Amino acid sequence: METKTESPIVTLSENIKTRKVKIGVIGLGYVGLPLALEIVNKGFQVIGFDKNDEKINFLKSGRSYIADLPETIMQEAISKEKFEATDNFTKLAEVNVIIICVPTPTAEDGTPNISYIVDAAHAIEQNMSADTLIILESTTYPGTTEDVVRPILEKQDFVIGQDIFLAYSPERVDPGNRNFTVTNTPKVVGGISKSCADIARIFYETVINTNVYAVTSPKVAEMEKLLENTFRQINIALVNEMSQLCYKMDIDIWEVIDAASTKPYGFMPFTPGPGVGGHCIPVDPKYLLWAGQQHGITATLIETADKINESMPNFVVERLAHYLNTQNKRLHDAEIVIIGVTYKPNVNDFRESPALNVINILRKNHCNIKIVDPFLETVIADGSTMNTVPLTKEIIRSADAVLILTNHTNINYALIDEHAALIFDTRNTHFLFKNQNYYKL
């Protein structure tokens, strides 16, 4: 009697549920590495792929280059032979689920650069076998999964939805956030077909501890991600513009925000700062701007928000110059101690940080800058490498001003408060400064 064979989706689903599949994660940055280790924690064997030799060597020795990812987790995964880091992409042939978590920066002209996605798709196409699930998590413009990744994967005559399965699920990683991590943040999934969406949903339901929300297509999921970050960009721009208005009108913007936050509905507090940074907010809305242009649409509100946020470093330096003038000092040649360069507190990521733009403006004014950031040893600003320094009483006393750009919690603000001639705090640091020359953004 002829034996009935199960369909690929049934077999792959059962193998996912019983942890018989091996998982591949391409891109071991702030998204891919925590995801890979969370998958290990759920009982799977994982191979992590990255072209960066330095990252691979770090991971092979059990070291972590992400501030809020303990090395003990890495070392345990390696010692139990549950995690392997490699730059050998032929090992993609060994895995049954492949997740793409590569960077998606913009080109110099602000247009999308999806070359890392294309490279990953080609590597998968050259090495994968049938009955494989491929999920793109990298933030990108709507249509990338269907119009860019799909044609590459179909070169081997696999039929998507039958032989292999392709879906998009946007990453939702917030570095430094202790409350919401990979495991308890809901996932959105959009598949090329219903079978693709089903198998991707089954996979995520196996590796996270919360809801998986399926949408009708990858385009919906891709657009959803852009909406999330554009929402933040626009609201940050609103409060940044409000801070400029309040300054001219001699109103404390922080008191205004606190008062508005007492409303139990219809208001969500956002806070001003020296600009926006990180791998999402300064970049993702530009993908949406570009996508709109391809369809003849000018996203005026998004474009304006982008300009407002990009104006904040200049606004910060103008304010600093004003406060120095009140002490009969000039910005030109001033001694400035900068506190914090990373794009948000308590992480070691300074990609697209507005602090870099502030530093560049200060350097153009020939300021002598010292950088204090306990999460960084060096900072690269405008092509130049600067070493960070410890926070001491001596460097504070010798400075004309201390400029707080990132409010790390492990900074000795009391020492700054006691010895600084002038403090300009762009983050409303939660410390009760008593210094008579303390100013907030």
Classify residue 359 as exposed, middle or buried by CB count within 10 Å of its CB (0-12, 13-18, 19+).
buried
| Structural tokens at position 219 | 């385009």
Q: By the 8 A CB rule, do 405 and 354 touch?
A: yes
**Residue 1 in this model has a pLDDT that exceeds 50:** no
Provide the β-strand partners of residue 264.
none
For 42, which DSSP code? T
Q: By the 8 A CB rule, do 229 and 175 touch?
A: no
Residue 438 backbone phi and psi in degrees, to 5: -100, 130
Round to whole Å and give the CA distance between 371 and 23: 41
Residue with tokens 């060096």: 378
Our answer to whether residue 280 is catalytic in this structure is yes
Task: Note the pLDDT tens digit of each residue in 342-383.
Answer: 999 999 989 899 999 999 999 999 999 999 999 999 998 888
So what's the pLDDT on residue 142?
A: 96
Classify residue 5 as exposed, middle or buried by CB count within 10 Å of its CB (0-12, 13-18, 19+).
exposed
Q: Average pLDDT of the chain?
A: 93
Confidence of residue 425 (pLDDT cuts 50, 70, 90): very high
Q: Is 421 left (phi over 0), alpha (psi -120 to 50) or beta?
A: alpha
Task: Note the pLDDT tens digit of each residue in 164-205.
Answer: 999 999 999 887 778 888 888 999 999 999 999 999 999 999
Choice among 27-31, 82-86, 276-280 with the minimum mean pLDDT: 276-280
Other C-beta atoms lying within 10 Å of the C-beta of residue 295:
7
Residue 309 backbone phi and psi in degrees, to 5: -65, -35
Q: By the 8 A CB rule, do 116 and 138 touch?
A: yes
HSE-up (13 A, CA, CB side) for residue 185: 18
Q: How far is CA 118 from CA 89, 131, 154, 406, in A?
A: 14, 21, 13, 35
